[in-house]
Amino acid sequence: MNFSEAQVRYAQLVEQIRRHDHAYYVRAQPTISDREYDRLYHELLDLEKQFPALITPDSPSQRVSGQPLKEFKQVQHRLPMLSLDNTYSQEEVRDFVNRVQKLLPNEKLEWIVDPKVDGVAINLRYENGVFTCGSTRGDGTTGDDITANLKTIRSIPARLRHGTAGLDAGKASVLASPDSGQLFESQSSRERSPSLLEVRGEAYLTKAGFEKLNAERRSAGEEEFANPRNAAAGSLKQLDPRIVAKRPLDIVVYGLGLVEGAAQMPQQHDQMLAWLKSFGFKTPDRTWHCRSAEELVAAIDELDRVRRSFAYETDGAVIKLNSFAQREVAGFTSKAPRWSIAYKYAAEQAETLLKGITVQVGRTGALTPVAELEPVFLAGSTISRATLHNEDYIRQKDIRIGDTVKIEKAGEVIPAVVDVVLTKRTGKEATFRFPTTCPECSSKVARAPGIVEGDEGVVWRCLNSDCPAQVRGRIEHWCARGAMDIEGGGEVLVRQLVQIGLVSDVADLYRLKLPEVAGLERMGEKSARNFLEGVAASKERDLWRLLFGLGILHVGAGVAKALGRGFPTFDDVLAASVDQLTDCEDVGEVIAQSVVQWHGDPRNRKLVERLRAAGLNFNSQLYQPKAKAGPLAGRTFVLTGTLPKLTREEATAKIEAAGGKVSGSVSKKTDYVVAGTEAGSKLDKAQKLGVKIIDEAELLRLCADQN
Ligand code: IVH
């Protein structure tokens, strides 16, 4: 086969595989046998091997890219990704409808009810029909670039199918929404892809996939995921797409971000879903059209009855106005749209026997009572432990060992004991005595103020910072996904490392040798190697992860990022005064005090030096220097040609010292072009754009000008 023949065959194969992928992963109606599919796929791989020039980034073979990433890049959302307000009762749904009606007096309102998928919110960006970037919601403004991971999800089209809404008979009912007046008109024309299409949805792990994944983790001695949502989030945070490809992830889409250059835009939610479906996306299993609060309540009830049959976990119903024009009038608050609300289903409850109470010691020394339960099935998983919060909670609810208790689990929340079933008391139950020393190290305990606001004085804490439970907790926290993200650094391994004295703080991790780790229980050479590679890779992590990983009181991931934006290096953070720290957005007095106090402890200072010696990155990629004060603050300069006295570097330094910025190219945003002899095209451009042109002498005057 020559190259041009190969090209033709290749195009056919790509098209066929895409069609079969869509049938299998999106419509769940396979059109060929697995065997036949494999044959096509292998033919494609063979062709790519023979003619590597054929491979395009959106080829079906490129779903799993070979290289793990060091860290996710950050993506700025062009339109913010907002959240929704929650409601829990029919009453609140009625209030919501009345509220929106007041914003849109005399208008007929039509509502859509969607299942609220309990997964991870994502934004998918398509440029000229090709999937180019996928990101997490993050803080709503900036998220992680998880493109490589999302590419492994086969129901995310690598290339948009052409908008042919309506060709599929199944869509007709959605398109012809009752008295919407007109049908959505992209039915006949095969539409060109919009130049930019951002699609919003939820990535999730199927309920079945979640059970399977946890079973595998259990038998590998790894920590299990608490629920499908955490498992999906954890999977998408993996830096190695090859691992992600093995997780049964999927998506449902329900919204748009920025769209540019579309031949026509949907005007309503139902049209939009049909539009997205015609591009090849998976949309919600069912949606309801409603015209009143009563119909909404009925739809919410019906969804509650059918949602257990969906492949994904749902935790509520999302109510939204159908009409985009009406949405625009209703508008947004700073956090959420006024035209939509989430209805959350009540947490599921179960009754079971409280067999005993144990007390766990966390990384901050907090003693948490844990209920040991007769295993019971609740909301998708078997529960044998639940939190009892603290001593006062047990006393207030008069919870006794041997009681039948009610436990509750809501979405991502850890199961909790919520009540005692008093009618089942026999009199044989025993009251629980809270330990007066640390159950782990027998040290003194005290009711000390906590990390979380409001827990002052309720939580008992172990006062020995060398308590093995605290040591383990600190190291596990350092390794956690949200912190330094060291795969394999879970409970089982850390417990052994601490027990035999190989590790007593996080800096010790960087001195571990392969034979030491490989010799541990349930380890073996391969997992030991993987773990140590993870440890080595963590040296490159961005500063905020390190700051968060250290577990400094009050420094959560959000605060750590704020510090990373405000300071270029770890040393700058540590050298900063309380005042300088509070100059950072989101950093208040209490946090600043805590950072300063942390650094005041000689043991922590020593830890910093050991981390430095181990070669950890202390620089912040998030750092955003503030526009400086000075006579040139906010001004942008471009240098061109040779200046009489100053070198280019000297001129740049002068401008920056006076608060200005130097840019490499001339645009409308340029304030001054500083021209010397033999100035080139930049001077021409400045003249064309009417940018002010000055010489060196004028520049020096501006720099010196204090007004
Ligand atoms: S619409 C402006 N529809 O729930 C936000 N969201 O609690 C409009 N979610 O951030 C979102 N299923 O991540 C919408 N059918 C659905 C949804 C859904 C799940 C998530 C979404 C959102 C969160 C709000």
Q: In 3-state terms, what secondary structure has residue 641?
A: coil
Distance 341 CA to ligand 1 centre (A): 9
The C-alpha R_g of the chain, in whole angstroms, comes to 30
Nearest to 158 by CA among 135, 137, 186, 127: 127
Pairwise CA distance, residues 255 & 271, whole Å: 11
CB-defined site of ligand 1, < 6 Å: 82-84, 114, 116-117, 121, 202, 254-255, 284, 318, 337, 340, 342
Query: 456 falls in which pLDDT band (50, 70, 90)?
Result: low
Catalytic amino acids?
Answer: 116
Query: 265 falls in which pLDDT band (50, 70, 90)?
Result: very high
Going by their DSSP bridges, the two strands 636-640 and 460-462 should be labelled as: unpaired
Are the beta carbons of 150 and 87 closer than 8 angstroms?
Answer: no
Percentages helix, strand, coil for the chain (3-state, rounded to 5) are 40, 20, 40
Nearest to 232 by CA among 119, 127, 345, 369: 119
Going 307 to 313 to 315 to 317, the CA torsion angle's sign is negative
Least confident residue range of 357-361, 576-580, 663-667: 663-667
Percentage of residues in the chain having pLDDT higher than 90: 58
The residue count for the chain: 707
φ/ψ of residue 300, rounded to 5: -60, -40
697 pLDDT higher than 50: yes
Residue nearest to atom 2 of ligand 1 (CA): 82
Taking the whole predicted model, whether its pTM rises above 0.75 is answered as no
User: 87, 117, 204: which to mutate for ligand 1, most atoms within 8 A of CB?
Assistant: 117
User: 116, 118, 327: which to mutate for ligand 1, most atoms within 8 A of CB?
Assistant: 116
- Note the pLDDT tens digit of each residue in 411-446: 545 788 999 999 999 999 999 999 999 999 999 999
Query: 218 falls in which pLDDT band (50, 70, 90)?
Result: low
Distance 136 CA to ligand 1 centre (A): 13
In 10 A of CB 596, how many CB atoms? Answer: 15
Mean pLDDT of the chain: 88
Going by their DSSP bridges, the two strands 120-127 and 130-136 should be labelled as: antiparallel
Nearest to 405 by CA among 373, 381, 358: 373
List CB contacts of 559: < 8 A, sequence separation 6 or more.
Answer: 586, 587, 591
- Note the pLDDT tens digit of each residue in 15-72: 999 988 888 888 878 888 888 888 899 999 999 999 988 888 888 888 876 667 778 8
- Note the pLDDT tens digit of each residue in 625-641: 776 678 888 889 999 98
Q: Which pLDDT does position 379 carry in this prediction?
A: 73
